Amino acid sequence: MTAWPPGSLTARPGAAPWRRMLATQTAAELKLVLRNGEQVLLSLIIPLGLLVLLVTVPFIRVDGPRADFFVPGVLALAIMSTAFTGQAIGVGFERQYGVLKRLGATPLPRAVLLSAKTLAVLAVEVLQVALLCLTGLLLGWEPTGSVLAVAALVVLGTAAFSGLGLLLGGTLRGLTTLAAANLVWFVLLVLGGVLFPLSAFGGAEPVLSLLPTAALSTGLREVLSAGEAPWREVVALTGWAVASLAAASRAFRWE
Amino acid sequence: MGGPYAGAVTEPALQVAGLEKRYAGRAVVDDLTFRARTATVLALLGPNGAGKTTTVEICEGFRTADSGEVRVLGLPPKDPSLRARVGVMPQTGGAYPGLRAGEMLRLVASFAATPLDPAELLERLGLDRVAGTAYRRLSGGQQQRLSLALAVVGRPELVFLDEPTAGLDPQARHATWELIEALRRDGVSVVLTTHLLEEAERLADDVVIVDAGRVVAAGSVRELTSTGAAGQLRFAGPPALDLAALLLELPAGCTATESPPGQYVITGAVDPQLLASVTAWCAGRGALARDLRVETRSLEDVFLDLTGRELRS
């Protein structure tokens, strides 16, 4: 047999430059997200469908222009879907299938792996925000406010949701993560100021407003509809981000 | 250092000393000591549940030992610099279910400075036709071979293979064995676990037989199969040959008996030299040794002697 010429397998160990690893790993993460039908449904189709439905069919009463209320809410929902639900489920199954363990035995540093996941999440979010904003504009939405403030809220919300997603997906089994992440998604959809104004919950409003989804949706609404600076929400989201990322980095299990 | 492998000639690829690992108070690995020489194949052989995978996973840095010392290429197992120098094939899984076989291999290849050509690797392992198939749709044997490819694509100095041929059909098993033999030929050290005696016998320079977390025997295949009442040489000839005279020609420790008359049994380390001595001695007496039969102890006999003849789950 001449299948393996002499010297063809001689050791030549060495890690690739980290930029190359980051590029290929990010591309792989993006491919996985966009190929996963359930994730595309959760991240793109459901938010888009909800937005059109909520703005055009007046079955939930809100004060002021409908788009002004629902576009920021659905943006918060979309970011939660990608950074929290999608990431938690993805990581949960990657652990269960031994993918993270295997990657841990390659030269890919953990920091590069997590950066690649973050970049993939941000790339999907850019797509989501673009599609949702465009749809909102077509439905007559007239936003105001600072793009910088929006970006800050999105980045902080992403950090908070990623921390929570990694905490969940990094500690539970794949199917348990799937169930828990979808349940949390649904609860926060209802209680997070996406479908209903928080004032609908009466005395619970001050507490609910601290939930990450509520902080993100309210903050986006303050900026985009009223042009106000969302300080309270920035503080809440920063708190969630710090606490969840710290907890995730302590509790995360790679297999 | 005179190059990346200057120290490798004298230093073992893997050293394990007094290794212990307990789960819930039960010792899974119990005072395990062995070493793997550079550029050789070492097989950890043992029944299921013997502690082979736990041992390998400690060496790979996935688990932490309770006590004992492990040096992989002279370094502690969790040393980050080892990740580029050591290839790992876990027992199961280890790929994104949604990536295609070729994509997964190219991804891991992209982490290495000078990887093997993924396309060539796929072809040689018979995976070129499924390069575009998602990992989750590959057969078990194809997943195993991809996992092997992932372990070697970065051109490591040392490869850990946990049950590399479990569940493979004969062709795939031979492709795997050829790759392992080529790795050794090219100076790569291989540590594999197996419960297949045939595999250890064919591939391994050294075998460590593990049972209940302990080393029960270690050595080269030849050493293991030639110890104790290792082999027998039987032949028929004229009755009443002078066996005392024959024994003088043979290495110490051999025995010779005649029973019934004309039927002879020589025991000892049966090797080509012994066979030649016996037949030459007979020829010197004008005696024809007929029905000559060599019975060596197979690794299987050794293994079953040491680990018990009963099947355990």
pLDDT, tens digit, for every residue of B83-132?
A: 999 999 998 878 999 999 999 999 999 999 999 999 999 999 999 999 99
Nearest CA in chain A to B88: A105
Residue B296 in this model has a pLDDT that exceeds 80 = no
> CA B143, B148, B151: angle at the middle one, nearest 5?
125
* pLDDT grade for B10, boundaries at 50, 70 and 90: low
Cβ-Cβ contacts under 8 Å, B178 against chain A: 1, 3-4
Q: Which of B88, B114, B183 sits opposite A9 (nearest CB)?
A: B183
Residue B199 in this model has a pLDDT that exceeds 70 = yes
For residues A64 and B92, what is the distance between their CA atoms, to the nearest angstrom? 57
Residue A56 in this model has a pLDDT that exceeds 90 = yes
* Number of domains observed in the structure of chain B: 2
* pLDDT grade for B77, boundaries at 50, 70 and 90: very high
DSSP per-residue string spanning A61-108: --SS-HHHHHHHHHHHHHHIIIIIIIHHHHHHHHHHTTHHHHHTTSS-
Which bin fits A17, alpha (ψ -120 to 50), beta or left (φ > 0)?
beta
Nearest CA in chain A to B116: A9
Question: In this complex, do A24 and B111 lie within 8 Å of one another by their Cβ atoms?
Answer: yes
Give the mean model confidence (pLDDT) for residues A244-252: 90
Q: Are residues B10 and B72 in the same domain?
A: yes
Q: Are residues B10 and B81 in the same domain?
A: yes
Cβ-Cβ contacts under 8 Å, A107 against chain B: 83-84, 111-112, 154
Mind listing the pLDDT tens digit for each residue in B20-75? 999 988 899 999 999 999 999 999 998 888 899 999 999 999 999 999 999 999 99
Mind listing the pLDDT tens digit for each residue in B134-179? 999 999 999 999 999 999 999 999 999 999 998 888 889 999 999 9
The verdict on residue B71 lying in a domain is yes
User: What single-letter amino acid sits at B31?
Assistant: D
**Which one of B57, B96, B158, B180 makes the best mutation probe of the A interface by having the most chain A beta carbons within 10 Å?**
B96
Q: Is B247 exposed, middle or buried (0-12, 13-18, 19+ CB in 10 A)?
A: middle
Nearest CA in chain B to A110: B80
Q: Which of B4, B84, B94 sits opposite A98 (nearest CB)?
A: B94
Question: In this complex, do A15 and B156 lie within 8 Å of one another by their Cβ atoms?
Answer: no
Residue B313 in this model has a pLDDT that exceeds 60 = no
Q: Which of B98, B108, B116 sits opposite A106 (nearest CB)?
A: B108
Residue B225 in this model has a pLDDT that exceeds 80 = no
The verdict on residue B145 lying in a domain is no
pLDDT at position B230 is: 59
Domain ranges of chain A: 18-251
Q: Are residues B172 and B287 in the same domain?
A: no
Domain around B73: 6-85+156-225
For residues B19 and B44, what is the distance between their CA atoms, to the nearest angstrom? 14
Q: Average pLDDT, whole number, for chain A?
A: 93
The verdict on residue B129 lying in a domain is no
Single residue among B202, B225, B248 that ends a domain in this structure: B225
Distance from CA of B197 to the nearest CA of A (A): 24
Q: How far is CA B292 from the centre of its chain?
A: 31
Nearest to A201 by CA among A210, A191, A188: A191
pLDDT at position B226 is: 65
pLDDT at position B195 is: 85
SS (H, E, C) chain B: CCCCCHHHHCCCCEEEEEEEEEECCEEEEEEEEEEECCCCEEEEECCCCCCHHHHHHHHCCCCCCCEEEEEECCECCCCHHHHHCEEEECCCCCCCCCCEHHHHHHHHHCCECCCCCHHHHHHHCCCHHHCCCEHHHCCHHHHHHHHHHHHHCCCCCEEEEECCCCCCCHHHHHHHHHHHHHHHHCCCEEEEEECCHHHHHHHCCEEEEEECCEEEEEEEHHHHHCCCCCEEEEEECCCCCCHHHHHHHCCCCCEEEECCCCEEEEEECCCHHHHHHHHHHHHHCCCCCEEEEEEECCHHHHHHHHHCCCCCC
Task: Indicate which CATH number applies to the domain containing B161.
Answer: 3.40.50.300
Residue B273 in this model has a pLDDT that exceeds 80 = yes
Residue B253 in this model has a pLDDT that exceeds 90 = no
The verdict on residue B131 lying in a domain is no
pLDDT at position A44 is: 93
What ipTM does the predicted assembly reach? 0.89
Residue B232 in this model has a pLDDT that exceeds 50 = yes
Cβ-Cβ contacts under 8 Å, B152 against chain A: 9
The two structure tokens encoding residue A186: 């649904």
Q: Are residues B162 and B291 in the same domain?
A: no
Residue A1 in this model has a pLDDT that exceeds 60 = no
Nearest to B37 by CA among B216, B201, B161, B219: B219
Task: Indicate which CATH number applies to the domain containing B290.
Answer: 3.30.70
Question: In this complex, do A98 and B116 lie within 8 Å of one another by their Cβ atoms?
Answer: no
The verdict on residue B166 lying in a domain is yes
Single residue among B225, B254, B284 that ends a domain in this structure: B225
The verdict on residue B123 lying in a domain is no
The verdict on residue B106 lying in a domain is no
Mind listing the pLDDT tens digit for each residue in A119-178? 999 999 999 999 999 999 999 999 998 999 999 999 999 999 999 999 999 999 889 999
Q: Determine what percent of chain A is predicted with pLDDT higher than 70.
A: 99
Question: In this complex, do B62 and A102 lie within 8 Å of one another by their Cβ atoms?
Answer: no
Residue A2 in this model has a pLDDT that exceeds 60 = no
Nearest CA in chain B to A34: B98
pLDDT at position B191 is: 97
Strand-strand pairing, B158-162 and B86-89: parallel
pLDDT at position B7 is: 45
Give the mean model confidence (pLDDT) for residues A215-221: 96
Single residue among B204, B225, B246 that ends a domain in this structure: B225
pLDDT at position B289 is: 84
Question: In this complex, do A94 and B96 lie within 8 Å of one another by their Cβ atoms?
Answer: yes
Point out the least confidently predicted range of A36-40, A51-55, A233-237: A36-40
pLDDT at position B74 is: 95
A&B contacts, CB < 8 Å = 133
Cβ-Cβ contacts under 8 Å, B79 against chain A: none
